A and B are shown apart, each in its own frame.
Chain A
Amino acid sequence: MGSFVQYTVQGLAAGGFYALAALGLAVIFGVLGVVNFSHGACYMLGAVGAAVLLDTTNLGFWPALLIVPLVLFVFGVLMERLLVRWLLQLDPLYNFLLTFGLTLLLVDLVKRRYGVSGLPYELPAGLEGNVTIGGLSLSAYQIFACLFSLAVCLLVWAVLTKTRVGMIVRAATEDSERTRALGINVTRWVTPVFGFGIALAGLAGVLAAPFRAITADMGSNFVIILFAVVVIGGLGSILGAVVGGFLVGLVEAYGQAYAPSFAQVVIFVLMAVVVLVRPAGLFGRAEVA
């Protein structure tokens, strides 16, 4: 029983991180209707960015948490302005293919510049070691990553649903023609939202740097788990990303504990079951799906 509780806590801790990592995917889909396959590559750029920042300027984890997402925001804005925008009117498949192509390009560019075997990165000072409460043990960093992720998720949710900016953005994507007719410059809002989604991927990447291998390929498999998270939660739903993140984290932890060889399969079994029962995901709206 003791170990069951331990596995549960570990699953929840991993889930919080999954929620943040999937959040940008959900925001971009919810607002632009774009399935951004390059999310994994942007997550990788975040982690690589943190490592490069440390190596070249000696700026550690805390500055990286701010600087790297800002750089990726600019990258996202350029990506939307130069590429994604031109395909928005077409079938969503076009942007899916575009971002898939971008992924291959980004991964190979990083491989060319930084090799394949990865970059070193250490734990930020003060977050080393373990926290033990009542026989349960968790790494201090894991707890931090989980709480930090949840705080960011909450903030994004609040901005999108409780502020005027959020209202404009949502209106712009629900019915861009009518919003324009009301005198609102729709394109002015769409571009920063895309940049913001990419910045969130970068933020997750920085957060991953101290406990994941930083390699060009680190996002390639991870993005598949993130897709499972958003599909389970409901594409485009922020609450869905959070709940999906926790569910996937828990299922993965129980899988690792009780059926190690199937630890990853169970995630996708869960996804299949959810899609069969609720095709739009747990918190998705039918028309979005």
Chain B
Amino acid sequence: MRTASTTRTGTRGLVAIAAISALGLAACSGGGGGPQTGGASKLTNDKIVIGLLNDQSGVYKDLSGPNSAVAIQMAIDDYKAKHGDQAVAKTVEIVQADHQNKADVANSKAQEMYDRQNADLILDVPNSAAALAVATQAKAKKKLYINIGAGTTALTGAQCNKYTFHWAYDTAVLAKGTAGTIVGEGGKTWNIVYPDYAFGQDMNKSFSAEVKTAGGTVGQSIATPFPSDNFATFITKAGDGSPQVVGTMHAGGDLINFVKQYNQSELKGKSELAVGLMFITDIHSLGVDQFAGTQFTDAWYWNFDEQNRAWADKFTAKTQTRPSFAHAANYSAALNYLEAVQAAGTDDADTIVKSLEGKKINDFFLRNGEVRAADHNVTHDVYLAKVKTKDQVKEAWDYEEITKTVPAAQAYAAPDGSCKLS
């Protein structure tokens, strides 16, 4: 018995060695006889590599995740279709990794992408802690990072750097849009409930400040453990002093728990519910009725106009689902990066950074967009949305009514001077 199994292991070992040797040989010959472009290309490795680093298995998978790779591929296809033979980047590859919402994993994956997979650019990275880790790597490796998914203002504030851009939204924008508007409409007294970690604390700070600036008051800010299933008593506490508005800063599953239990509580109908950060996938998973009437700030909505819808239709044809703003932003960032490479004729990071700084962009995602040179925050028009009621919904994913376009200049505050690009 033992002899037989030893022999089997031996055979298997041999096969493995043979396979590895074969792979090694293939790699050698591939490296030696690969395509030669005769030195005309100014691209490192003769190609562009875009790294997509995000949550591919956890709570943020649906709002960005693997479907963002589809969006980036659409950008690559559109770039190639536009430039044809004239394209500087003839080969563009996407490499993907799952950061599992852990900053340390994001850190090592970013390192691997920049160093070993020769990524010229890393995109997305939802989760603020993970995004800050990737920004640090971008600075150290002098390679580009365009953040889409993370909301922290630190990326364009105290922890900003020359190679990091912030494309879609941040917590300050959400606060300005949502809190500013609701206070303006008369919702002056607030209680805020937030999850007790970096993102929640940042949101609480931004919203509290914005409510006060707009002329309202925040009675109390209540921190909740993260993650949490049972919010019953927190909700009762949030009703203390009968505020006009209860603001929840939760995200993902916690947000759904909170809203379900809020809707069953005595507060429903007494205080207006404001949601700090909401993705269309949240409305989809909870059902439109539970959120009906809730106001929030959206960076982009697929059914806003013909231009958005046209892109969304192409996306849906490939994924069978409607895009979130993160999907659209990944497309926009990838395409604008490729166009910058096209214009510069090189993928040299410093050259690309210079060409992007101060650039005014108008595409289907960035309306009146500008890559701010001072802090690399990409400002653009954002939207105040109201969740439709069930009978207003005309088709699948038709959940939002855009009540107001917030012009870029109003949505984004001027840089506060804490960012020193270097």
A positions within 8 Å CB-CB of B? 3, 6-7, 10-11, 13-14, 108, 111, 115-123, 128, 130, 132, 137, 139-142, 210-213, 215, 217-218, 221-222, 225, 252-253, 256-257, 260-265
Contact = CB atoms under 8 A, between A and B. Distances in A.
Nearest to B254: A213
Contacts of A218: 229, 253
A14 B234 CA distance: 13
Interface string B41-77: 0000000000000000111111100000000000000
B266 A130 contact: yes
A256 B253 contact: no
18 contacts: A6-B236, A10-B236, A111-B57, A117-B252, A117-B281, A118-B253, A120-B290, A142-B232, A142-B264, A210-B260, A211-B260, A211-B261, A213-B285, A215-B285, A221-B229, A252-B233, A257-B236, A257-B237
Interface centre among A115, A116, A225 (most CB of B within 10 A): A116
Nearest to B230: A14
Contact of B228 (A119, A123, A262, A264): A264
Contact of B196 (A118, A253, A261): A261
B285 A253 contact: no
Given A130-B265, A132-B266, A213-B257, A263 B228 contact: yes
Counting chain A CB atoms within 10 Å of each CB, the highest count among B224, B232, B281 belongs to: B232
Contacts of A119: 285
Contacts of A217: 58-59, 253
A84 to B, nearest CB: 27
B62 to A, nearest CB: 4
Nearest to B284: A117
Question: Closest 7 interchain pairs by CB?
Answer: A120-B287, A213-B256, A256-B233, A118-B285, A139-B264, A137-B266, A117-B62
Given A116-B58, A117-B62, A264-B228, A212 B287 contact: no
Contacts of B236: 3, 6-7, 10, 257
B349 interface: no
B272 interface: no
Interface of B: 57-63, 196, 222-225, 227-234, 236-237, 240, 252-254, 256-257, 260-261, 264-266, 281-282, 284-287, 289-290
Given A139-B265, A218-B253, A116 B230 contact: no
Nearest to A140: B264
B272 to A, nearest CB: 18
Given A123-B264, A211-B264, A256 B63 contact: no
Contact of A116 (B61, B257, B261): B61
Given A130-B265, A256-B237, A263-B224, A120 B285 contact: yes
A267 to B, nearest CB: 10
A222 B229 contact: yes
A253 B264 contact: no
A277 B403 CA distance: 60
A13 B230 CA distance: 11
A75 B242 CA distance: 48
Nearest to A119: B285
Given A123-B264, A213-B257, A262-B225, 13 more contacts: A10-B232, A116-B58, A116-B62, A120-B285, A120-B287, A121-B287, A140-B264, A141-B264, A211-B260, A213-B260, A213-B286, A215-B285, A252-B230
Nearest to B261: A211
A117 B59 contact: yes
Given A119-B285, A212-B257, A261-B196, A253 B223 contact: no
Contacts of A141: 264
B249 to A, nearest CB: 14
B264 A212 contact: no
Contacts of A128: 264
A260 B224 contact: yes
A222 B253 CA distance: 13
B323 to A, nearest CB: 14
Contacts of B281: 117
A120 B286 CA distance: 4
A257 B233 contact: yes
A93 B261 CA distance: 37
Given A117-B59, A117-B281, A260 B222 contact: yes
A11 B285 CA distance: 28
Contacts of A262: 225
A253 B232 contact: yes
Contacts of A210: 260
A3 B235 CA distance: 12
Given A115-B61, A116-B58, A120-B285, A10 B233 contact: yes
B61 A11 contact: no
Contacts of A221: 227, 229
B418 to A, nearest CB: 27
A261 B234 CA distance: 11
Nearest to A220: B227
A139 B233 CA distance: 12
A263 B225 contact: yes
Given A212-B260, A213-B260, A7 B253 contact: no
B128 to A, nearest CB: 19
A113 to B, nearest CB: 13
A210 B223 CA distance: 24
A260 B62 CA distance: 30
A167 to B, nearest CB: 37
Nearest to B196: A261
Nearest to B263: A123
A28 B260 CA distance: 31
Nearest to B57: A111
Nearest to B233: A256
B208 to A, nearest CB: 16
A117 B63 contact: yes
